[in-house]
Amino acid sequence: MNTIYMFLETFFPFDIIQYDFMKKALLGIIMITPLLGMLGTMAVNNKMAFFSDALGHSAFTGIALGVLFGVKNDLISMIAFAVLLALIITRVKSSKAASADTVIGVFSSTSIALGLVVLSIGGRFSSYSQYLIGDILSITSTDILVLFICLIAVTIIWGLIYNKLLIISVNEDLAKSRGINSMLIENIFVVLVALVVILSIKWIGILLINSLLILPAASARNISKSSRQYMVLSVLIALVCGIAGLITSFYINTSAGATIVLYCSCVYLITYIMRNKK
Amino acid sequence: MPTNNGCGLCKVCVSHLSVVRGNETILNDISFNINCGELTAIIGINGAGKTTLLRAMLGEIKHEGNVSFEGHDGLVLSKITIGYVPQQFSFDKSSPVRVSDFLTASRTNRPVSFFGSNSSKYNVHESLKQAGSAELAGKMLGDLSGGELQRVMLAQALYPVPELLILDEPLSGVDHAGCEQFYDSIENLRKNYHMPVIMVSHDLQLVNQYADKTLLINRDLLFQGKTSHVFASRQFEQTFKSGGFKL
């Protein structure tokens, strides 16, 4: 850890980096943002902005279920519920019984309501409100390690399924004719999104996590000319906005998650103008 | 039924193929053979089961009866490589995917998002050339015209080199020049690789011009044979007379 800290001190010439919590926060951001930028590319391609929003909201029910069943680590109950919800939504969506928007809307509002009802029993909700906006400064070394393992694992799985996801996103019939099991690949993808969204919620907040998944990819898409450019730009935008947002939030004393998202919004605006100028 | 096999690669035999969905019979007892190097067209009115027939041949939907592939020595091959060109489809045109990205992604698991795409690898360039669209490699998928997109889809179907090429209404909505370019590529493939081609089409003029054999179906197989024979048949007239088709 000390070596990493020294490394950070050399590369980030800000006096705030001398605080240990700031170093940890910075490491956390360096783990989270590339993940969100990477998965965001396909979430935007497949028009899943609303879907990932619903996953974020499901965190409330996840925490609530954890409280009900006495699960000590609320991360486990949150992930379990989000993964379950992601798989159910994908299933219902593919049966085409109702429009995807409606299906996701129903699940999203139900899981918020259920979570709020359970958590507000006896007026205890205020102790959970930290999840709404998140707090990256409270991240611990163990959390960083978990995020690091997640970053490695998700990147490997992502590499394995990316080409198949790309073909599916262009034409599902074609994917099937090439022997791609589109249901399996899509399920793997939504589980990855659920995992990453939930792991980041404590640090970024339920209200903003979706913006951090969608905005970098949407910005990169405005100016990219190939699949690689798209992903590289999306990851870079997420990373740069993440670091800039964190440092800025320290100096002007604001919520880190919200400041990062504001940076992302500015980048989106700039790329949008760049695209329209062409 | 002619069974001579020009190049001796293989013959596709469909025998007594039926598809039933719920209580509805979508295809009833269809039998035909496709020989190597032949272009066989499937024609019929909307809802006749043309696309369903292709899906059954691809093994994507449950069916009764048998689809088998014979080698030139008369032995039955358990599996062959089928190239499939889908119908004109809509997709997200603003998605940043280059033609070479798409083709590379369909040929390898090496993620194009990390390593990019390289037209000289994985036969991407050769396939595009065979489909008459070598110049499209660097273009974005969303910027292609209807005809160009279908030629890219054709290039996609050419690797691994297919033993049977299936085209599902590849050119509905494509302008005339685009159609001709597409068929020229198909002609080349048939001549140079003796590839059997099966195609669903609504465009009877083009079928008449390019197809060797034609199957006229409406859930049942109404008539099959040489295209000129099919077009002269009573069944053909009954099927299409309301459309006022004139050759």
The residue that leads in pLDDT, B175 or B99, is B99
Question: Is A159 in Cβ contact with B60 (below 8 Å)?
Answer: no
The residue that leads in pLDDT, A154 or A18, is A154
Indicate whether A136 pLDDT > 70.
Answer: yes
b/e map B43-63, b = 16+ CB within 10 Å: bbeeebbbbbbbbbbbeeeeb
Question: Is A227 in Cβ contact with B112 (below 8 Å)?
Answer: yes
Chain B, 155-184: which have a CB under 8 Å from a chain A CB? 156, 166
Q: What is the mean pLDDT of residues A81-88?
A: 93
Please report, to the nearest 10 degrees, the dihedral formed by the alpha carbons of residues A197, A202, A206, A207 taken in order: -120
Using CB atoms, pick whichever of B96, B105, B111 lies closest to residue A230: B96
Contacts of A237 (CB under 8 A, 6+ apart): A37, A216, A219, A220, A264, A267
Q: What is the mean pLDDT of residues A39-43?
A: 95
Indicate whether B247 pLDDT > 70.
Answer: no
Q: What does the block give as tokens for A271? A: 């790329």
Indicate whether B207 pLDDT > 50.
Answer: yes
Q: What is the mean pLDDT of residues B162-173?
A: 87
The residue that leads in pLDDT, B1 or A44, is A44
Question: Is B104 in Cβ contact with A167 (below 8 Å)?
Answer: no
Using CB atoms, pick whichever of B84, B94, B117 lies closest to residue A221: B94
Indicate whether B4 pLDDT > 50.
Answer: no
Indicate whether A189 pLDDT > 90.
Answer: yes
Asked if B153 has any chain A CB less than 8 Å from its own CB, the reply is: yes
Q: What does the block give as tokens for B139? A: 């273009």
Asked if B152 has any chain A CB less than 8 Å from its own CB, the reply is: no
Question: Is B153 in Cβ contact with A166 (below 8 Å)?
Answer: no
Instruction: Determine the residue of chain A that is closest to B115 in CA distance.
Output: A228
Indicate whether B73 pLDDT > 70.
Answer: yes
Q: What is the mean pLDDT of residues A23-36?
A: 94
Question: Is B82 in Cβ contact with A173 (below 8 Å)?
Answer: no
Give CA–CA dist B50/B91, Å, rounded.
23
Indicate whether B188 pLDDT > 50.
Answer: yes
Across chain B, mean pLDDT equals 86
Chain A partners within 8 Å of B110 (Cβ): 163
For B9-59, what is each residue's pLDDT tens digit?
A: 568 899 999 999 889 999 999 999 998 889 999 999 988 999 899 989 888
A·B CB contacts under 8 A: 97
Q: Which domains does chain A have, with CATH numbers?
A: 2-277 (1.10.3470.10)
Q: In what order do the strands lie in the sheet with B164-168?
A: B82-85, B164-168, B197-200, B39-43, B213-218, B220-226
Indicate whether B2 pLDDT > 60.
Answer: no
Chain B, 27-86: which have a CB under 8 Å from a chain A CB? 58, 60, 82, 84, 86
Instruction: Determine the residue of chain A that is closest to B142 in CA distance.
Output: A170
DSSP code, position B140: B
Range A147-151 contact pairs with CB under 8 angstroms and sequence separation of 24 or more = A147/A28, A147/A31, A147/A32, A147/A199, A148/A31, A150/A31, A150/A35, A150/A195, A150/A196, A150/A199, A151/A31, A151/A34, A151/A35
Is the CB of residue B55 less than 8 Å from the CB of residue B27?
A: no
Question: Is B153 in Cβ contact with A163 (below 8 Å)?
Answer: no
pLDDT of residue B127: 92
Indicate whether B181 pLDDT > 90.
Answer: no
Instruction: Determine the residue of chain B that is closest to A225 in CA distance.
Output: B96
Q: How many helices (H) and strands (E) does chain A have?
A: 12, 0
CA distance B91 to chain A (A): 6
Residue B245 pLDDT grade (very low, low, confident, very high; cuts 50, 70, 90): low
Using CB atoms, pick whichever of B110, B113, B141 lies closest to residue A231: B113
pLDDT of residue B244: 52
Question: Is A173 in Cβ contact with B105 (below 8 Å)?
Answer: no
Indicate whether B123 pLDDT > 90.
Answer: no
Which three-class secondary structure state does DSSP give residue B143? helix
The candidate with the shortest Cα–Cα distance to A204, out of A238, A162, A169, is: A238
Taking the mean position of all CA atoms in its chain, how far away is CA A165? Answer: 18
Across chain A, mean pLDDT equals 91
Give CA–CA dist A175/A173, Å, rounded.
5
Indicate whether B239 pLDDT > 60.
Answer: yes
Q: Are strands B197-200 and B164-168 parallel, antiparallel or unpaired?
A: parallel
pLDDT of residue B1: 36
Which three-class secondary structure state does DSSP give residue B162? coil
Distances (CA, A) of B132 to A128, B117, B150, B155, B162: 62, 20, 11, 9, 17
Q: What is the mean pLDDT of residues B146-165?
A: 90
Interface residue of B113, B144, B156 to substitute, partner A, most A CBs within 10 Å:
B113
Which three-class secondary structure state does DSSP give residue B114? helix
Q: What is the mean pLDDT of residues A63-87?
A: 89
CA distance B99 to chain A (A): 9
The residue that leads in pLDDT, A96 or A191, is A191
Chain A partners within 8 Å of B141 (Cβ): 170
Instruction: Determine the residue of chain A that is closest to B104 in CA distance.
Output: A163
Per-range mean pLDDT, top range of A33-42, B104-113, B187-196: A33-42
CA distance A18 to chain B (A): 34
Indicate whether B183 pLDDT > 90.
Answer: no
Indicate whether A82 pLDDT > 90.
Answer: yes
Asked if B104 has any chain A CB less than 8 Å from its own CB, the reply is: yes
Is the CB of residue A58 less than 8 Å from the CB of residue A81?
A: yes
Indicate whether A62 pLDDT > 60.
Answer: yes
Q: Are strands B213-218 and B10-21 parallel, antiparallel or unpaired?
A: unpaired
pLDDT of residue B6: 41
Give CA–CA dist B27/B48, Å, rounded.
8
Taking the mean position of all CA atoms in its chain, how far away is CA B49? Answer: 15
Task: Give the 3-state secondary structure of A116-129.
Answer: HHHHCHHHCHHHHC
CA distance A71 to chain B (A): 38
pLDDT of residue A133: 87
Question: Is A227 in Cβ contact with B97 (below 8 Å)?
Answer: yes
**DSSP per residue, B191-209:** HHH---EEEE-S-HHHHHH
Chain B partners within 8 Å of A40 (Cβ): none
Adjacent-strand bridge partners of B17: B30
